[in-house]
Amino acid sequence: MLKKQADTIRFLCADMVQKANSGHPGAPMGLADIMVVLMQNLKHNPKDPKWLNRDRLVFSGGHASSLVYSFLYLSGYDLSFEELQNFRQLGSKTPGHPEIETNGVEIATGPLGQGVANAVGFAMAAKYAANILNAPKNKIIDHKVYCLCGDGDLQEGISYEACAMAGKLNLDNLVIIYDSNNITIEGDTNLAWNEDVKSRFEAQGFEVAKINGHDYDEIEFALKEAKNKTKPYLIIANTCIAKGAGELEGSHHSHGAPLGEDIIKIAKQNAGFDPDKKFHIDEDVLLRFRVALEKGDLAQTLWQEQVDKLDNDGKKLLNSLLNPDFSKISYPDFGGKKMATRDTNGLIINAIANALPGFIGGSADLAPSNKTELKNMGDFPNGRNIHFGIREHSMAAINNAFARYGLFMPFSATFFIFSDYMKSGARMAALMKLKHYFIFTHDSIGVGEDGPTHQPIEQLSQFRAMPNFYTFRPADGNENVKSWQVALGLNAPCAFVCSRQGLEPLEGSVFGDVSNGAYLLKQSNNAKVTLIASGSEVSLVLKTAELLDNDGIGANVVSAPCYDLLCNQDKQYIDKIIQKDTYKIAVEASSALEWYKFADDVYGMKTFGESGKADELFKHFGFEPNALYSFIKEKL
């Protein structure tokens, strides 16, 4: 029966790829035997994909999506049989790589390696949740996190970052199943890789087992062993890509292309299946798979009994994690204070953390510089300060999993220049609409003496170009507060780009607010110029506007803390704050080319920076009132 179940999965996946004439049949067919046994050991409820104490199953190799959809359909999730036949078609719930819009998909993994870090993140989230919710005789959180990955995932550096952290934190709830088939797109893995994976993971603090990935007894034994491990656990499963696919079995040609009708027919015939039947599932096989519905219902019912036994404090904590109340946040008031926005941001996130027990995060070894320590809240796994080490790439993916876990609102912090290492994770957060907050400090040439390697120039434009990602660059402390208030209400990841140097406080608003992305900060009669700026450059344009006013040239000033929100405003609002009959100039110490959407000119950086004191650099590159005034005078 196990073989019949596995072959059913194999041929479902092969048929899906063949019908779509697109996809990756090799890995799903090679993993089918493992998948059957794993499905029998998995704690989940297809009727309630969001059950808090379910085992998380992460498919790091998202190209094996036909395996994901076969698992979901056969288990009884809300995914129709027709959707299997619509694999990779426009508008289907079975896209080429899994997305969270499909019921039962835990997380969209995207590029190889991300899923391994996501799995580590789920395991970390579960570990912290257990620490704060569990009582000695009342286990609210006791699930496992399983991750299926392949050679490509482990070749990516992000997997090393994440797994090193898993070993350091002794995540005994993490089980990684490595599909070791020795094949990549170009051929045998020996072309580019000969690493001793077992030694690598043991050195990182994992317990490692090696099994035949097609032997049901060995698979079952390894998975049963996972229940009692005291370390994170790697199962190296030696498999054959495209198992059962005749002449393409073991070939790299089976990785990313349909097998062909003839080969699939022969494979079915050799397995005792009717070669002329496509997408076929025998009733006895489906009944075996659908046992997951009853098992899941029972497991969740027993769990709910444990939840009902929580004391009042436990129930109150669980409810506040599930339903954060933003009205309880007591924000600081920065009126009249000259402060770096990294400093104001630090005070703000502490105010948020004091009110919301699910607000958690950390920095890539830069908390003292990022000002992101949550005061008196302890260190992970017992506290809310996560020390990621110098691991920006995995930090973003780990916190994406925290955001998907169901209880937490994570933040990730580093210098803005190092956001380049976080781009994949930030993009996946945007695609999934996660409430994941990125804190980027040292936002411009104001970094100073560290020089051009550490001074961000093009990064603002990069993040502003990303759909469903909101980048805030506040000009003072109170604008920073308002930015957070807006951000917490968005179903999207947000970045806070903060200064190292102190910024002058602003005074009020003539029209509009931070929620509009930009607002009219200063208005002149008969204005001829509109100056648009964000962050540290707002005080610069205010001083420049004063020089222009003194010269009889009326100048309006627009503070634009969030370009992305401004793009969402209607034409009437935009015309109100950025008057069409004025000379419109955007001023930012970055490349800032996106501002041509609203401005006639952009006064920004056209080169990388230099090494020197921040005030000298701003003057050197023309970010001082007299230089900007002269530039504008020449244009008028």
The tens digit of pLDDT for each residue in 417-436 reads 999 999 999 999 999 999 99
Looking at residue 136, its pLDDT comes to 86
Question: Nearest 5°: phi and psi at 117?
Answer: -65, -35
Contacts of 168 (CB under 8 A, 6+ apart): 205
The conformation of residue 52, written as its DSSP 8-state character, comes to T
392 is catalytic: yes
Give the residue carrying structure tokens 């660059």: 473
Short-list 518, 538, 477, 504, CA closest to 345: 477
Looking at residue 335, its pLDDT comes to 87
Pair 116, 27: CB distance under 8 Å: no
Please report which residue ranges of 237-327 form alpha helices under DSSP H: 261-270, 283-308, 312-322
User: pTM here?
Assistant: 0.97
Record the tokens describing residue 195, joined without a space.
Answer: 């690493």
Looking at residue 533, its pLDDT comes to 98
3-state secondary structure of 87: coil
Radius of gyration of the CA atoms of the chain, in A: 27
pLDDT tens per residue, range 231-274: 999 999 999 999 999 999 999 999 999 999 999 999 999 999 99
Q: What is the DSSP annotation of 423-472?
A: HHHHHHHHHHT---EEEEES-SGGG-TT-GGGS-SSHHHHHHTSTT-EEE
Short-list 332, 299, 211, 252, CA closest to 27: 252
Q: Choose the catalytic residue: 218, 392, 537, 594.
A: 392
Residues tagged in the binding site annotation for Mg(2+): 151, 181, 183
Could you give the CA distance from residue 547 to residue 100 in angstroms, rounded to a whole number?
Answer: 53
Kindly give the parts of the chain with pLDDT less than 50.
none
Residues tagged in the binding site annotation for substrate: 24, 255, 342, 369, 442, 450, 454, 500
- Tell me how far CA of residue 59 lies from CA of 108, 175, 486, 495, 616, in angstroms: 9, 12, 34, 27, 51
Domains and CATH numbers, the chain: 1-297 (3.40.50.970), 326-498 (3.40.50.970), 514-635 (3.40.50.920)
Looking at residue 327, its pLDDT comes to 97
Cα distance from N-terminal residue to C-terminal residue, the chain = 82
Short-list 251, 245, 242, CA closest to 187: 251
Question: Nearest 5°: phi and psi at 466?
Answer: -80, 125
* Sign of the Cα pseudo-torsion (46, 52, 55, 59, in order): positive
Determine whether 202 is exposed, middle or buried from the number of CB atoms within 10 Å of its CB (0-12, 13-18, 19+).
middle
Residues tagged in the binding site annotation for thiamine diphosphate: 63, 110-112, 152, 181, 255, 418
3-state secondary structure of 184: strand
Question: Nearest 5°: phi and psi at 542?
Answer: -65, -45
Could you give the CA distance from residue 21 to residue 278 in angstroms, rounded to a whole number?
Answer: 14
The strand order across the sheet containing 519-522 reads: 519-522, 555-559, 529-533, 583-587, 601-603
3-state secondary structure of 16: helix
Residues tagged in the binding site annotation: 24, 63, 110-112, 151-152, 181, 183, 255, 342, 369, 418, 442, 450, 454, 500
Q: What is the DSSP annotation of 143-176?
A: --EEEEEEHHHHHSHHHHHHHHHHHHTT-TTEEE
Could you give the CA distance from residue 16 to residue 310 in angstroms, rounded to a whole number?
Answer: 46
Contacts of 529 (CB under 8 A, 6+ apart): 545, 548, 553, 554, 555, 556, 582, 583, 584, 585, 632, 636
